[in-house]
Structure 1
Amino acid sequence: MNALLNDVGPIKAVIFDMDGLLLDTEGIYTEVTQLIADRYGRTFDWTIKQNIIGRGAADLARYVVEALDLPITAEEFLVIREPLMRERFPRALAMPGAQELVQHLKANNVPIAVGTSSSRQSFAQKTTLHGDWFALFDTIVTADDPEVGAAKPAPDIFLTAARRLGVAPEDCLVFEDSPFGVTAAKAAGMTAIAIPDPAMADAKYAHADAILRSLKGFQPAACGLPQLKWS
């Protein structure tokens, strides 16, 4: 753990991002974006992808259309993308350690939430195979939640989650895989642990309180949470 977690007081609640953190959906986003790029003779590669991880849909679409110089609007990009995503999302698998950590926290009565840039509809598609353990969360906050004014990197999603959990922001721990998500968590006044994509450089997460390369590297006791012996 690359961390300054020594300064963290006892954590009372945990908030999880979803895409690339709880569920392995980033590969689906890459595949679909490349399919669209192919239609226009463009190449979607890591130089672009690294800058869109964690963005809300509208912001992501604007960036991709401009970066690839696509002859469509951001709105048209999202319309083309939607059925391609809908077909693939129900096959999304869990990230290593995700289900075990969620079940551990729930079993020990730690308030837990999902704070995701996905829409409610997209959330339902992605969790098709995972309804049992996603049902353990005390609240799910999506980007189109009526109480959310702005998507990440704004703090709204995480602040809404904390409010619903009844826990002060400074007592919340956030797990995120994107720099934008870490920015949102820190703007909310929360502790943020980054779990980056393997290709992402640590330097992009200098604002995180810790960097791990897998959820299975997390030791809850370091944050005052019940100890977990990983299987």
Structure 2
Amino acid sequence: MSLVKPLKKLVSCVILDLDGTLLNTDGIVSDVLKVALVNYGKQWDGRETHKIVGKTPVEAAAVVVEDYEIPLTKEEFLTQITPMFSERWSNIKALPGANRLINHLKSHGVLMALASNSPKSNIETKISYHQGWKESFFAIVGGDEVTAGKPNPEIFLEVAKRLGINPSNCLVIEDSLPGVTAGKAAEMEVVAVPSLPKQSHLFTSADEVINSLLDLHPEKWGLPAFQDWVAGILPIETWHIGGPVVRGFGRGSKVLGIPTANLSTTGYSDLLTEYPSGVYFGWAGLSNHGIYKMVMSIGWNPYFNNTEKTIEPWLLHDFSEDFYGEELHLVIVGYIRPEVANFSTLESLIAKIHEDRRVAENALELPLYSKYRDDPYLKSPLLQNNL
């Protein structure tokens, strides 16, 4: 069960953005633009992503055409890439926490609506691939149904009008600055879930900024609380990752005094965009040693200010030697907390890491989590020979 949080504001309706908030569209956008720009001798590297997040399709196309000097009008470019997006809609995954939130609010009879700058028909097509979504929303408003998209507040005011509810009683959940601006201009409460990394400091107008939907506490807004936290940890759909250890007792380990076993992020780009930065836990199988409890961070390691997202498992065991190059298999079963933006001192970081260790060690004794120690994925062929 989640901890009780102080009430911020009593609301009776939740209005959700779609792309980047409920659906993991970042990878789709990059894939399409990489292919489209090659035709003009250009290379999409993602550095302009912040300019198009939250924009209407026409506005986003205009940014790309101008920045990459594409010899087309924005309308022509949009016409060219729209079919490429349509082909990929069926493969867009829900972001972690999206299904959980929708099912939770629906089961408690909370009014929900969708408000997206995308055309209405595109919205309905995208959500049709996610079971139960369409019937969960009492209203769906697309950018083509209003005279101006976000950051104009019109789309949110239209939702409130259709629901017959006062705007001040609505909670907006958005991933982009245009969306947050629109929600506040509509005089609604706004929770920002930034879809781009290291952008939280820009969302000063939001009433709350969270790392992911996993970190949303509805009770802060007078809505029913989630009841699925167990021993201070959120069980998640189990996932597996593995590969050779690229750094055992690496830079962070030497400073922090813990045996982190960094994995290469090569081949895990989709996973790293899908899962929010934060601290997770589960079981680790190390080919030459055995199976251990494990707590793991995904993110940028704020103390060391990493420029690339990393996967850093901490094997909860006292090792006396390095384990470079060993095969490591991980079974991740739960989520502890979001990545903290920064720590004032190294000591405060170390204290937090050891707190995570205690939480993980205790939780992994529970049958809900301990059963995964027998997951066949942990037992690589080499490890099986050593057991």
Q: Same fold (TM over 0.5)?
A: yes
Q: Residue deviations 1:111-142, cap 9 Å, x none?
A: 11000111122113322321422311111111
Give the equivalent residue in structure 2 for 1:95. Answer: 95
Give 1:58-97 correspondences, 5 Å limit: 58-97=58-97
Cα offset, 1:198, TM superposition: 4.5
Which one of the candidate residues 154, 166, 172 is aligned to 1:168? 166
Give 1:1-231 correspondences, 5 Å limit: 8-145=8-145, 148-230=146-228, 231=235
Tell me, yes or no, if the aligned pair for 2:7 and 2:220 is still in contact at 8 Å. no
Distance in 1, Cα, partners of 2:110 & 2:38: 46
Cα offset, 1:184, TM superposition: 0.8
Distance in 1, Cα, partners of 2:41 & 2:74: 17
Uncovered stretches (5+) of structure 2, i.e. residues with no partner: 229-234, 236-387
Tell me, yes or no, if the aligned pair for 1:91 and 1:126 is still in contact at 8 Å. no
Distance in 2, Cα, partners of 1:160 & 1:120: 13
Cα offset, 1:90, TM superposition: 1.4
Q: Residue deviations 1:147-187, cap 9 Å, x none?
A: x1211111111111111122111111111011111111111
Distance in 1, Cα, partners of 2:49 & 2:6: 33
Tell me, yes or no, if the aligned pair for 1:56 and 1:151 is still in contact at 8 Å. yes
Q: Which amino acid aligns with 2:38?
A: D
Q: Which amino acid aligns with 1:53?
A: V
Q: Residue deviations 1:23-81, cap 9 Å, x none?
A: 11221112112211111122223331111101001111111111111111101111110
Distance in 1, Cα, partners of 2:198 & 2:29: 16
Distance in 2, Cα, partners of 1:200 & 1:54: 17
Q: Which amino acid aligns with 1:116?
A: S
Q: Which structure has the larger Rg? A: 2
Change (3 A) 1:34 1:202: same
Give the equivalent residue in structure 1 for 2:252. Answer: none
Cα offset, 1:7, TM superposition: 7.8
Structure 1 or 2: more helix by fraction: 1
Cα offset, 1:211, TM superposition: 0.9
SS in 1 for 2:14: strand
Distance in 1, Cα, partners of 2:139 & 2:131: 14
Question: What is the root-mean-square deviation of aligned Cα atoms in Å?
Answer: 1.6
Distance in 2, Cα, partners of 1:195 & 1:68: 29
Number of aligned positions between the proteins: 225
Distance in 2, Cα, partners of 1:160 & 1:29: 28
Distance in 1, Cα, partners of 2:181 & 2:45: 24
Tell me, yes or no, if the aligned pair for 2:7 and 2:221 is still in contact at 8 Å. no
Cα offset, 1:203, TM superposition: 2.1
Distance in 2, Cα, partners of 1:77 & 1:23: 24
Q: Which amino acid aligns with 1:140?
A: I
Change (3 A) 1:64 1:93: same
Tell me, yes or no, if the aligned pair for 1:8 and 1:191 is still in contact at 8 Å. no
Give the number of the structure with larger relative contact order, counting CA–CA contacts within 8 Å between residues 6 or more apart. 1
Uncovered stretches (5+) of structure 1, i.e. residues with no partner: none
Tell me, yes or no, if the aligned pair for 2:50 and 2:196 is still in contact at 8 Å. no
Tell me, yes or no, if the aligned pair for 1:112 and 1:165 is still in contact at 8 Å. no
TM-score normalised by L of structure 2: 0.56
Question: 4+ residue stretches of structure 1 with deviation over 6 A?
Answer: none
